[in-house]
Amino acid sequence: MAILGRSARRKPTVEPVTLKILVAGGFGVGKTTLVGAVSEIKPLRTEETLSEAGRPVDDLVGVEAKSTTTVAMDFGRITLREDLVLYLFGTPGQDRFWFLWDELAQGSLGAVVLADTRRLEDCFAAIDYFERRAIPFAVGVNCFDEADRYPADMVRQALDLDDGVPVVLCDARDRQSVKEVLVTVVRHAMARATAAREAANG
């Protein structure tokens, strides 16, 4: 009887929902760092050393110390709850690799657009990309140590974002900070999906 009792109380196996999240933004904004900070597996990285041949096309202003660049994607995984797993795909930041974005975006629930207040213009292309494709996204403002800090509302105005787009200040090196950004993206995407269903059902 005791054995049966323990067996009866055993929790059923939970099959987790897996969701795909993109991490996008300009060159050197911290995408690889963000994926690495939060991933529970060793992240897959496709980084190459910056070459002299690439210097004319890679804008290093503000990131002069950067010595590597992502040429395909970063990949990581995080379990938010036992029934919810996120797969993270970090996109390459330079213009010449944007042909990969359409492949990476397929099947994604939403995206994080990582921004650096010293180079806000570098994330315009990512914002435009997700807006045109109606992919829900949140802006994560990576608060670099040497960068000036601005309130989220001021960043929203500078980026000309719709009121519904979340803006979160974060530290791409800090696991808990990154988790908060990812939770924000998931909640935003779920709310968008719910609103769309309700509108479709009249």
d(CA 60, CA 63): 5
Q: What are the domain boundaries of the chain?
A: 25-200
Specify whether domain 25-200 bears CATH 3.40.640.10.
no
d(CA 32, CA 72): 11
- pLDDT digits over 152-184, tens only? 999 999 999 999 999 999 999 999 999 999 999
- pLDDT digits over 130-153, tens only? 999 999 999 999 999 989 999 999
pLDDT higher than 70, residue 128:
yes
Q: Give the SS3 label for residue 174.
A: coil
Q: pTM of the predicted model, to two decimals? A: 0.80
Res. 48 pLDDT band, cuts 50 70 90: low
